[in-house]
Amino acid sequence: MSVSLLLQSVLSGLTNGFVYGLVGLGLAAIFRGTRIINAMQGDFALLGGITAALLLERLGWPMALAFACAVAVGGIAGWLMELLLIRPLRRRGGSEDSYLLLTLGVAFAVSAFVLYAVGRDSHSLPGLGGEGIVVIGDASIRTHAVWLIAISLATMAGLRLFFAKTALGLSMLAAALDAEGALTTGINVPLMRTLTFALGGLVGGLAGILVGPLVTVYFDMGLLLTLKGFAAAILGGLANPMGAIAGGVTLGLLESLAIVTVSSGYKDVIAMVILIVIMIVMPNGLLGRRLRKGG
């Protein structure tokens, strides 16, 4: 195995890993603030991606404006999701299973809605930095992928600061950890939960515009993204946004290194076996324990 091949696999692993991590980040943010596993996180990305594609293709909006609007659509979708579906279910005493089933059902509904309203065609999104590549030694990475990594890291850091340092973030955490206690201190718990979903939706919308240029945006891309994001979030520690990124990058690198060291045919088997070992040794995920000590 040559150095350039190893370097290429690391760059490719980082690209895929940050895609998984970015979806996992939204999942972790929602779980942290509501204790709900949101199976439609990938569909927030679908909504963001398809919004950007339509605004660019059909209305000719400037890229920055279309992308900003796409992220906002993700946030609005999250807001509506909590307000119209999660909250009534909670009022009726919904269990963890019922939330999972609800979000899974909405994921299918969103996919079907996009299919009905937009059609089954794939839509390309322009990348940040166009089609340019950054050459490192004999390996290369797309300029857009570098932006994806940078924005993912910034989002992760921003979320960490938000939950640790801001009154709103702390209120969201309090509402999730002890709703009754939070109520007695004057925190508007239902609003905090709605805002948490909106936040998860914003991160999902961001994932949509960042993943779209790497693949294409199409109506049933959501569930596939959710599955990888879920694996990343579980591996990193579900309640820790930083863990989701760490989990995603670990997963991406494991897959990529399995390709160059063994075979692309056994990539998933090798990556998953290592993941199982990690989960047995560290059942709370890579960064899960640290959060619990702090919490």
In the complex, the residues that contact another protein under the rule CB under 8 A are: 2, 4-5, 8-9, 11-13, 15-16, 19, 115, 120-122, 124, 131, 133, 139-142, 145, 211, 214-216, 219-221, 224, 256, 259-260, 264-265, 267-268
**Residue 67 Cβ vs another protein, minimum distance, rounded to whole Å:** 18
**Cβ distance to another protein smaller for residue 70 or 145:** 145
Report in angstroms how near the CB of residue 105 gets to another protein at its nearest. Answer: 16
CB 146 within 8 A of CB 12: no
Please state the closest distance from residue 69 (CB atom) to another protein, in A: 22
Contact predicate 205/70, CB 8 Å: yes
Say if CB 107 and CB 226 are below 8 A apart: yes
CA pair distance 251, 231, nearest whole angstrom: 8
Q: How far apart are CA 102 and CA 38, in angstroms?
A: 9
CA distance 146 to 175: 36
The torsion angles phi and psi of 80, rounded to 5 degrees, stand at: -65, -40
Q: Which is nearer to another protein, 84 or 112 (by Cβ)?
A: 112
- Residue 134: beta bridge partners? 141
Min dist. Cβ of residue 154 to another protein (A): 20
Complex with another protein: residue 12 or 284, whichever CB lies closer: 12
Closer CB to another protein, 80 or 220, in the complex = 220
User: Based on CB atoms, which residue is closest to another protein, 175 or 211?
Assistant: 211
- Residues whose CB falls within 8 Å of the CB of residue 185, separated by 6 or more in sequence, listed in order: 174
User: Measuring CA to CA, which residue among 282, 294, 295 is closest to residue 236?
Assistant: 282
Least spacing, CB of residue 66 vs another protein, in Å: 17
